[in-house]
Structure 1
Amino acid sequence: MRELLSLRAYARHRNVRLSAVQKAIANNRISTVPDEKGRAKIDPAVADIQWAQNTNPLQQERGSLKDFERTQADLPGASQLPLAGEKTGVQTSVLSEEKAETENVRRQLLEIQLAKQRGELVRVEDISRALANKLKAAQEHLNTVADRLAPILAAETDVSKVDEMLRSEIRRAMTQIALEAPHVTQ
């Protein structure tokens, strides 16, 4: 009787990953034989023949390191690229820059959180709402100028007095708006 191999041993025999052997078994491309304890074992002579007959050679090479190296060799300037696993100063400096940038962003986020906790930041929506309310109040104050002055101005014939009354009433409305505005302390 021939020596039966475990799935791992057969993967080493074929120089493939264990997952490739497991997929071949799952897809019925190779068969297994139970040993005396009922564990799945592989007859390498039979499985090699089944593997050759039932496996698409293009599928087998897809994703292989040989295929990758062949593709990379066709690229312009590929001879100047480092080999797999080879470290370069460029890679190290890029990694250092990325780490520094990440730390900078993390620091900025912490500063924002701290400013929020201190009450130094205000939400844009809150400011927009407050501004809209103030503009509406300003519009109402300015609209009341016409209501207050219309009867007085209708009787006035002196242009300079009309001008003075208008300016005075507008100043009064603007002062009222300014008094109602929230005070910003620095």
Structure 2
Amino acid sequence: MDHLVSPSLLAADFGNLQKEIQMVNRSVADWLHLDIMDGVFVPNISFGFPIIEHVKKISEKPLDVHLMIVDPDRYLTRFRDDGATNLTVQYEACTHLHRTVTEIHNLGMKSGVALNPHTPVSLLKHILPYIDMVLIMTVNPGFGGQSFILESYNKIAELRKMIDEKKFKVLIEVDGGIDTKNAAKLIQTGVNVLV
């Protein structure tokens, strides 16, 4: 499988949002990644439903939505209604993870589970059969411009082994500090989606 690219909306110039999204539409990017931050789960606030509704009207790419929020279950239907194709929740923010990913599927979306940099992948052992994607945060979530955490390579390799041993159809996505210097190594390590 070739890798996928999902550019992050956080990197956009919000003063020219329509032009930025149209540029992504014309690109070879596969998805458009939206990081939703609430200022509680992570120490920053990004954007909410009005921006997402606007993005969906313009974007020709599937919306890859990553929720870095507390109590994501309250908003699953709304994110579906606003156009999310993939909906990823944080492992650390979900009280009943199986119920959450099941509801995401029931709403017609692909489900993902994200792990903070120091959350071990072994915690996903029992949820892997029920999800479509794991998002490994390769920086501490909340702010852009951070350096890639090198230990992430080992974590990705461990996750790839877990997935391959059971022959699960689960994608590995990475987000944070991804650039031309580390993209090839990440793909070699087993990553499917680069943000």
Measured against the shorter chain, the TM-score band is under 0.3
Larger radius of gyration: 1
State TM-score, norm by structure 1: 0.18
Higher strand share: 2
State TM-score, norm by structure 2: 0.18
Q: Which structure has the higher relative contact order (CA within 8 Å, separation 6+)?
A: 2
Higher helix share: 1
